[in-house]
Amino acid sequence: MSSLLIVRVNMTDGLLPAAFQSTDFPQTLYDIEICVTNLRELPADLDMKWPPNSIIQVEYSQLTVVPLVLPRLEPYYLALTGNPLTEIPPEVFEVQGMVFRSISVMTI
């Protein structure tokens, strides 16, 4: 498996399902896209479970802050378009090797 797309999904309490937080999460995934969901936060330890240096898109969801786990995953492509973000930590702009960053249509 190389891509995981979660689109138009209502997650219980706006949290990532347990299966996507497993230590057995496929390390061959390089494209993780979560779009048009009610996801409001990400677990702080995803960088210990998800593969680094991948494409991560969390778009049109309910994130109000950028979880610091995202820069720790060192994605080369990060898209956070359409979330009601109220702040963006500087770490998002300090990821080595990131070639694409999309942060738009937000509350700031």
Query: pLDDT tens digits for 9-33?
Result: 999 999 999 999 999 999 999 999 9
Q: What is each CA distance from 72 to 1, 56, 69, 105, in whole angstroms?
A: 23, 12, 5, 23
Residues in contact with 68: Cβ distance below 8 Å, sequence separation at least 6, in sequence order: 44, 89, 91
Tell me, what's the pLDDT at 73?
98
What is the C-alpha to C-alpha distance for residues 73 and 87, in angstroms, rounded to an integer?
19
Q: What's the pLDDT band for 106 if we cut at 50, 70, 90?
A: confident
DSSP code of residue 59: E
Q: What is the Cα–Cα distance from 107 to 94, expressed in whole angstroms?
A: 22
Higher pLDDT, 33 or 104: 33
